[in-house]
Every structure is written in structure tokens, then in C-alpha cells.
Amino acid sequence: MYKRLFPSVEGIREQDGSFFKDLVATLNQLKHDTPNINRWASNEEEAIAKVIHAHTKANVYVELNETYTAFYNEEFNTQAIEFLKSGKTFEVIAAVNYNTGKLEGAFTKLKTKVYLTYELLSSKFTTEEQAAVILHEVGHLYTLFDFIGKIYTTNFALKDIQDVYTGEANIEKRRIVLKNIKDRADLKDLEVEELANCDNKETVSVVVLDRLKEKASSQLGCEAYDVTAFEFLADQYATKQGAGRALMTALDKLGSNSRHSATSFYFVELIKAIELTGTILIFPVIGTIFFLSLFTLIGLNRGKSRYDEIGDRLARIRMQIIQRLKDNKLPEGLRKQAREDLLLIDEKISLANNRVSFLSQLADKLFSTPRKRIKAQELQMQLEKLALNDLFIKAFDLERV
């Protein structure tokens, strides 16, 4: 059976927080046993990996390093490609369980790795914040497996086409296969009758694949906001595990080194404007060419960052905490914790600003692509706020008066 193939900003359902609590407890124990984290080695890596495996069933390894915190493994990429090529029948099971957040079937055998820095594990961050960042990286793992699963089901659809057009199948059998693909994948514009009468299997495969691609494209018609979806889904995963507040404070600390006060930000912008103006006045031709080249480069690259601006990112985490608050299936204690988390995150959001340079603001006004991106982003944010607005907070409070 085919799964529906269009992506979603909804992943697993709200969890009971046990994954988050177990990570925190493990980190606390490791720090108690070995306070000097620079001496942490394979035993500590295995302990963290063991907790991740227990709650996800992922065949995951943890590696400590000095440079970066990330989810990536060259070996995993090779295995994933081979996995996508291996499917022959529907007997091959590989899935992500949206209810439990765990992997199933062949996905549990693919090796992957989570990299954590010694800085993350230092005293700069609380164990709750460290656990939240680890959950963010695990969220990447979950999202990637979910995406592979969608590609895998697409491959099955294409394989069915190849089979029915290679053998002795008549037009009626072709029609049945194509209609099944259309219904299962919700491809309303797939021309079943026309394709059933087409004898070129390559043409049919291309048409179906194109329809599947269109179905998986952003309904906003703009990819810019979707570029940040990979990071947002990882944030969402951590929040659904009950780590939203800790993730927010961790992000605030991680960004504090690169963010400046409003005064220093605008002072730097003024210096850049003076330097650029001086260059144009002293070297008119070279300065003008440099300005236009820089301006064009900024315009072409606007909206290609993997991350939302810090204010928007915190706002989206806040909305996910509201989602947790409004989930009546969660125990009362977890919902009350979500309400308390919102009080802190509101304070942090009030201090976070999306500061955009003068040239970037100018590019957003003059280039059509940034203008389209901004409109799409504003629309998406408005839709998210509409679905997860503060009325749910007020309703929660009134129920407990």
C-alpha cells in the first residue's frame, strides 16, 4: 500500500517526555562519574547512544568532537541509496511510527551517527539544554528516515509501472495500476486513460514522477520558506518530546556569541555604509561595479538560509509548545509544564529581534524572488499563528480557574 506522498510540518504525536528525561538523567550520571568531559570517550558515547536507541530503535552511534554538533554520516548515505535500490516487493517493511516516534523494519538496521561537541557538553549548558540539542539532532534523523520512506514508496509506484508495461499486460491492467497509484497518492490530475493507452513506459514513468514531484512541492509556490523546514522539523521533534523550553534557552545561548545589541548592530551597519560610499566616491567605476555585484549576490541568496531568523525560530517553537498545551491526551502535569514553559519563552522572544542589514532590506524590496519569499513566509507564519494562537492559552487558564 502506498503512503500519501506530500510532506508535512507535522511529525510524531506529542510524547510523554520520557526520552528527554532519560537523556537528562544519563548526562547527569555521566557528569557525576566523570566530571572532566574532556576525558569522556567511548563509554560515554555508548551511554548516550543507548538512550537514543531505546527510544527510537535507531542503529545510532555518538561521536564527541571539538568542531561541530550534527547528524551526518557518509556511510549512512551509501546505505540509504542501496536500500532504495533494493526493494522488490511490498514485503520489505521500513517505516517511521508517528505514534511512538520509533523506527521500524529495515530502517532500524541502517547505521547513522550523531556528532556532539565538547563545548555543548560543558558547564555553559545545563543538562536539560544538552539533552534538548541532542533531541534536535535526533529529529534530523527522524525527518530523514521519513523522507526516505516517501521516496521508497514512490519507487514502488514506478516499479509497478515498469512491470505492467514490460509484460503482456493489456490496457485494462495498465488502467488498474495507474488508477491505484492515482488514488493512493492523491494525484487528481493524473491522466489515467491517456497513459494507459501510451505504449512508451519511459514516458508514463516520467509523467507519474512529475505528478508526484508536483504533489510534494510547497503549496505556497515558493521554496524559500521550505528551506528552513529541515531545521524546523528537528526543533518540532525536540519540542514534542517535551524539550521545547530547554531547546529555546540552548538556542539563545548558542546565538548569544553571534548576536549584537541593537546599538552595536546599527553602528556596524553605519560603518559599512560609510566604507561603501567612500569606495564609490574615490573609485567610481570599481566601487560601482563592486556595489552592484555585492547587491546582486545578496539578492540572489536571500531566503536560502537553512535557519529561520532567531525571533521567528523561537516563535515557531512557542507555537509548538502551544500545540503541546492544547493536546487533551497528554497528562495534566505535562500540559501544566508547557504552560510554565510559555511564560519563559515569551520573555526570551521579547528580547529577540530579527535584524536585517540595510543591503538585505533593499534587496528584498527590489528583487522579485525575495519579495515572493517574504509574502510566502508571512502567509505561512500567519497560518501557523491562526492554528496555534493565544486563545488556546487563555482557554487552558480559564479551565483551571
DSSP state of 62: E
204 and 288, same structural domain? Answer: no
250 and 200, same structural domain? Answer: no
User: Looking at residues 10-22, what average pLDDT do you find?
Assistant: 87
Rounded CA-CA distance 214/190 in Å is 11
- DSSP string covering 296-337, please? HHHHHHTT--SS--HHHHHHHHHHHHHHHHT-TTS-HHHHHH
Whether the Cβ atoms of residue 22 and residue 51 lie closer than 8 Å to each other: yes
Q: Is 90 exceeded by the pLDDT of residue 62? A: yes
Rounded CA-CA distance 342/317 in Å is 10
Look at residue 264 in the predicted model and tell me its pLDDT: 63
pLDDT digits (tens, 9 = 90+) for 107-125: 888 888 899 999 899 888 9
165 and 301, same structural domain? Answer: no
210 and 234, same structural domain? Answer: no
Structural domain total, the chain: 2
pTM as predicted:
0.70
Look at residue 224 in the predicted model and tell me its pLDDT: 45
Look at residue 263 in the predicted model and tell me its pLDDT: 60
The candidate with the shortest Cα–Cα distance to 212, out of 58, 52, 4, 1, is 4
User: Looking at residues 19-44, what average pLDDT do you find?
Assistant: 92
User: Looking at residues 37-66, what average pLDDT do you find?
Assistant: 91
205 and 232, same structural domain? Answer: no
Q: 132 is written with which cell numbers?
A: 534538548
251 and 124, same structural domain? Answer: no
pLDDT digits (tens, 9 = 90+) for 277-291: 777 788 888 877 776
Look at residues 184, 216, 248 and tell me which one is the last residue of a structural domain: 216
Range of the domain at 374: 224-399
pLDDT digits (tens, 9 = 90+) for 332-367: 889 999 898 888 887 777 666 656 666 666 666 666
Mean pLDDT of the residues in the chain: 75
Strand order in the sheet with 111-117: 59-65, 111-117, 70-71
pLDDT digits (tens, 9 = 90+) for 162-175: 666 665 557 787 78
Whether the Cβ atoms of residue 5 and residue 190 lie closer than 8 Å to each other: no
Q: Is 90 exceeded by the pLDDT of residue 376? A: no
Q: Is 80 exceeded by the pLDDT of residue 329? A: yes
